Structure 1
Amino acid sequence: MTGTDGIAGERSQLINVAYRLLGSVSEAEDAVQDAYARWYGLPQSRRKDILSPGAWLTTVTGRICLDLLGSARARRERYVGAWLPEPLPDRAEWGPAGGAGATGPGDPADQIVLDESVSMAFLVVLESMTPAERVAFVLHDVFRYPFAEIAGVVGRTPAACKQLAASARRRVDVSRDPVAADGRADVVRRVKEAWETKDIAALVGVLDPAAVMTADGGGMVGAVPRPVEGGARIAQYMVAIADKAPGLVLLERSVTGVPGLVAERDGVVMTVASFDVSDGRVTRIWAVRNPEKLRPWAARRD
């Protein structure tokens, strides 16, 4: 596939790769656009010599993401409060990304396949990896690229890339049995009901005693600057939020592929919350409040 149509057809795959590597839709789109710009900047004779344009674009996109990941740590040190990946809605539940100005199916957020590899729990674990570990792990374990190809992305030998992926894999908790979607949804529903009724005892009952809640406001809206630790403290904090935000409506919606909650006021999405669940209780809550990260939630399908 060396024609224009074939090259354009790689875009969705590249967006999916870049989002998992960067945790940001806008940064993923920029990385893919940069890769395409480099492709079209090649002399025609050079492009004809490339047997697999898709593989070339993946390698270049991966290298761009690797560079971005290297500089992201410095940028996030200047970020106000905790930094969390951007949550995404399920297109079957929510309208096209970007509201009235959205580009429809071509919008990058609408091209991302929602599965466990984009859940907030998984993306947060990826944040703990070194850039090289993250690239090797995502390309191999998620997208099944061979280490020989990954070597061209990270600039190391295939054996070294295999070691990087193995090191990254140790950071992922594979000991727990996966929680079925209906079981996770039931726990999230209990959180919603207890939050709506401001029932601290019920919230404490559904929260693990060692639960941790992290909020991302980006300095643009109010958010607790540091994680709130302990089920009892989180329950009190959630009820305090409800007291300060009359008219807040909670919706049960898929958040980056798993059951979560969306908080609206006057039809405007204020917060998107993701949950990690174990043994019937919530162990982690990630609440994204930064408006720039909630743009895909701007338009709702009724």
Structure 2
Amino acid sequence: MYFPRKIELIEVGPRDGLQNEPIAIPTSSKKELIRHLAEAGFRRMETAAFVSPKWVPQMADAEEISKYCHELGITYLALTPNLMALERAIAAKAPQIAVFVGASSAFNQKNVNKTTEQSLVECEEMFALAKQNGMFIRAYVSMAFSCPYQGEVTLEEVRRVCDRFVQLGADEIDIGDTNGFANPKMAYERFSRLKDWYPDTVFVGHFHDTRKMALANTLAAMQAGIEKFDSSIGGLGGCPFSPGAAGNLATEDISLMLSELGVNTGVHLEKVKQTVPLARSLSSRF
């Protein structure tokens, strides 16, 4: 089996992990979580989403969280689903943004009330504006394996979105198993094909643990040459527009596995473990 010498773990707990929580979490508690994760060695974190509080009230404090990340001196990702969100991120001086488009048009319609093609057209202006402002652009392909509304998502549907992201100049493309229905065979085959088609593109694996396959899928993606993965402390997470989707791949689980395999992540495993109770105390799931 192939094990890279180094893997980058991107912590998404403060955003993806908490966005779906039904009870408002104090901003001070989110800051405490981010600080603990920074102390555990995470160099990049997804911490904020510039979305409408009407639809995702948990992210209403995006500006304050962004300011705190600047004070800590960490590199953070901010989710920007549209031009208005991007303008807020620019005003907050976010260093990295994340845009997302569903490979499944049915999911994209539920999520942002646009078809996949309509979202890709909007991305053109967003990418141009972000690049003008010197921002790093992460491009998510949501529902890249299957979809609760559509069922199977084909590789060609994924490729269509990746094609546009590559043409527009995404700095990395994050392939999302948004509802957690991928399996290791799918993960290996899909990432292998994408690496063949786009050899100069940086891909990231993003797995949810709905069917307890997130670690196995991560290992399969590693065999296909993927060296960057998202994870969420305590396994927090879930998508508001993906019924039944469980939390993300748990940071403590992938950190332990990679440590056992001798793969360097730059993350302090014991500090990660110590942060899990804090993370889970913020969630209604535990």
TM surpasses 0.5: no
State which structure, 1 or 2, has the greater radius of gyration over its C-alpha atoms: 1
TM-score (norm. length: structure 1) = 0.26
